[in-house]
Amino acid sequence: MMQQGTSDSVANERETVGGLSSLLLPEKRHPYYIVAPRYVRTSAGIKALHLLCHALNRLGERAYLITHPYYPPAYSTNPELNTPLLTQRILEFDFEAGLAPIVIYPETIPGNPFHAPFVVRYVLNFPGLLGGDATYGEDEFCITYSKHLAESVADSKLTLFIPVSDPRVFYPYPRVQRRGSCFYAGKYKYHHGGKLYEVTNNSVEITRDQPDSQSPDQIADLFRRSEVFYTYENTALAIEALLCECPVVFLPNPYLDQIIGIEEHGWDGIAWGTADSDIDRAKSTVYTAKENYRRFYAIFSKMLQEFIARTQDIADNRPYRESMIVPQIHASNFFLRLGETFEMGYSMLLNKGALETSKRGIRKILGR
């Protein structure tokens, strides 16, 4: 029979190990693979995907990005965020451990191209507007960015509104004299080929991916000094303008007939169209828009916890019999292997010299 002192000692030891487990011993949790384009600061949808990956990792989950379409890894992410890229080794480890990945596709990607065992469809814009399917499979777990988008998805399970704009960067100047206006027409102008309206003829255009595109600080300064911001589409810039107390005017067009997230942040500071009465109302209410926005940080945290609980439960019951294949990271990718070979050879040349590098190369070729 175990003595009382020994029993207490064992219990204390288990308690100590249990206390360390959250720091040193990783839990066997289903990972999250988030499929997203490279980070683009002016895109609310893309930022939401990257921030979701960041937030999941901050909460102790394992979350990785799959950059799609492919983009050089060094320029795919925001260095400030905890958004590691998925590798073949990680994918193989999860498969061998029987951890079915929870793969999050945005609505712009049709189907399930990477053959994920469990698909979460994150609808960030109106289905089919920017590509992708108009309807989704019954086995997909659909979530939406806003309540308004949820109305366009037959079986939406959850609304996960992510505050994507940083109020530490975008804030107003006190008592500044505002003059002129600025506008944004990224997808409307360059993707859809839309014609600009006369109202923006004398406005400063905000662009992205151009040699003279403004930096975040320059955009913030522009918002702080402008009397109004016009936009031809749904964009993260709208929220950033409101945070700088710059009224936002959405310009209705064939590609913009609704505002995403209007149920969440409300109409304060926002005008639909160029009617003087609507713009005057936006100007008079813009000062409350910032506080409306701030309250969503707490709401997002609560909804993210619910999302994690529900997706982990479903993944527990999803078989993972065949490994996913992600071509851009797969070992059979010729261009990936070629690049790695050149990189390893160049690194060895710098560290070991030409003679030793040649010897090792010959041994590798001969299989020795």
When the pLDDT of each residue in the chain is averaged and rounded to a whole number, the result is 87
Confidence of residue 59 (pLDDT cuts 50, 70, 90): very high
Which H/E stretch holds residue 264? helix 262-265
Lowest average pLDDT, out of 9-13, 111-115, 165-169, 355-359, goes to: 9-13
pLDDT value at residue 15:
47
Sketch the domain layout of the chain as residue ranges: 26-164+299-316, 181-293, 333-366
CA-to-CA distance for 252 and 368, rounded, in angstroms?
68
Is the pLDDT at 352 greater than 80? The verdict is: no
Neighbours of 290 (CB within 10 A): 19
* 244-301 pLDDT, tens digit each: 999 999 999 999 998 988 888 889 999 999 999 999 999 999 999 988 888 888 899 9
Judge if 26-164+299-316 and 181-293 fold alike in CATH terms: yes
Is the pLDDT at 17 greater than 60? The verdict is: no
The angle, 0 to 180 degrees and rounded to 10, between the axes of the packed helices 296-316 and 44-58 is 70
CB 120 within 8 A of CB 143: yes
CA-to-CA distance for 101 and 33, rounded, in angstroms?
7
Task: Copy the structure tokens of residue 250.
Answer: 């959405």
Is the pLDDT at 58 greater than 70? The verdict is: yes
* 83-136 pLDDT, tens digit each: 999 999 999 999 999 999 999 999 999 999 999 999 999 999 888 888 899 999
Question: Quick one: fold of 181-293?
Answer: Rossmann fold (3.40.50)
User: Hunting for tokens 């936006």 — which residue is that?
Assistant: 282
In CATH, the architecture of 26-164+299-316 is: 3-Layer(aba) Sandwich (3.40)
CA-to-CA distance for 317 and 119, rounded, in angstroms?
13
Confidence of residue 25 (pLDDT cuts 50, 70, 90): confident
Q: What is the DSSP letter of 75?
A: G
* 156-167 pLDDT, tens digit each: 999 999 999 999
